[in-house]
Structure 1
């Protein structure tokens, strides 16, 4: 008879998986090193998650911020600018930084054909673009193609965050992120 799942232990393992990915990366990740890092066995990880891919996706789901809530009540440019700046200017420490580092790795891995991460990555991108599109539409119902504006903003910020992780040039990337947000949220030229 299979052992019942200890849900508290499962949650601890998922948190540890995120820490492992942030520290060691997603490339060529295998169960044995993750299990050793977590103080368990690869057999136990299979018991809790079934496959390595299922474990990784479950861990990622625990890190997904509620982007819909971040923009749900935004109906003016200043609030949107403040929310974007707070959420997406560089936070180099803590859980937000860990989540961003892991998300960037997953987005890269999702580009590989038949990637098990593609559905997760697709959903994450669509959620933030949709939420931002809705906020931009509330702010200016006459805005021409708010979805492309949201896509440009989200993709630009993602690229800037990746630039920062690669170069470590905090001052330059932070200035560029603020400039992108200011430009994207500026009122239309008259």
Structure 2
């Protein structure tokens, strides 16, 4: 009886190889051949699943997003109040362990690569809009001192900057978390109320 092939598993295997190669070499230097060598498969197999490099890039973004969602689902803070939920989400974007460091290095590479690739850039904009809307909705549900859209934009921009500084060794992860918590306090504390640190 022929062996059943799990095509999603194969595509995920290739996406994982892409992430590792991209973290080491940057996306501009990644080729289907590099991904095939990293995954231990033939270039023909990679081309069977992905017609172009950009198709593979976009699927890799989906894989990373799914992993972030899975980690959030396992985080008890997600069941808490809006501020705790937003913190749990944003902490997933900081390179605080080996998995998130790999994802962070790839995220930086994706932004550089997207500057000259309209399809990838469009996907990144779509993902960013969705995340901004999700954060703004949580801020809106808990009256704070800041406009929800402004708060969401500021928090996401802050986390991206903190991630770059941690990846570059300019900032300790504990200091990045303390900075994030201070800005969360501003976003979620009603005007006139002294901010309190997140727990």
Q: Distance in 1 between matches of 2:178 and 2:159?
A: 12
Partner residue in 2 for 1:32: 33
Deviation at 1:60, TM superposition (A): 1.4
Stretches of 4+ moved more than 6 A in 1? none
The 3-state SS of whatever aligns with 1:27 is helix
- Name 1:165's counterpart in structure 2: 167
TM-score, with length taken from structure 2? 0.75
Q: Counterpart of 1:186? A: 189
Secondary structure at the counterpart of residue 116 of structure 1: helix
Cα distance per residue 1:93-125 (max 9 Å; x no partner): 243332233223213332x14433112211111
> In the alignment, which residue of structure 2 is the partner of 1:104?
108
Q: CA RMSD in A?
A: 3.0
CA distance in 2, matches of 1:34, 1:114: 19
Give the TM-score of the pair, scaled to structure 1.
0.78
Structure 2 counterparts to residues 50-65 of structure 1, below 5 A: 50-64=51-65, 65=68
CA contact (8 A) 2:23 2:105 kept: yes
- Contact 2:78/2:84 (<8 A) preserved: no
Q: Secondary structure at the match of 2:118?
A: coil
Match of 2:99 among 95, 98, 118: 95
1:51 deviation in Å?
A: 0.6
Q: 1:174 to 1:137 in 2, by over 3 A?
A: closer
Unaligned residue ranges in structure 1 (runs of 5+): none
The change in CA–CA distance for 1:126 and 1:164 in structure 2 (over 3 A counts) is same
Relative contact order (alpha carbons < 8 A, sep ≥ 6): 1 or 2 greater?
A: 1
Mapped pair 1:10 → 2:11? yes
Equivalent positions of 1:36-185 (< 5 A) are: 36-64=37-65, 65-66=68-69, 79-89=81-91, 90-110=94-114, 112-140=115-143, 145-170=147-172, 171-185=174-188
Distance 1:79 1:91, change over 3 A: farther
Instruction: Report if aligned partners of 1:137, 1:143 keep a CA contact under 8 Å in 2.
Output: no
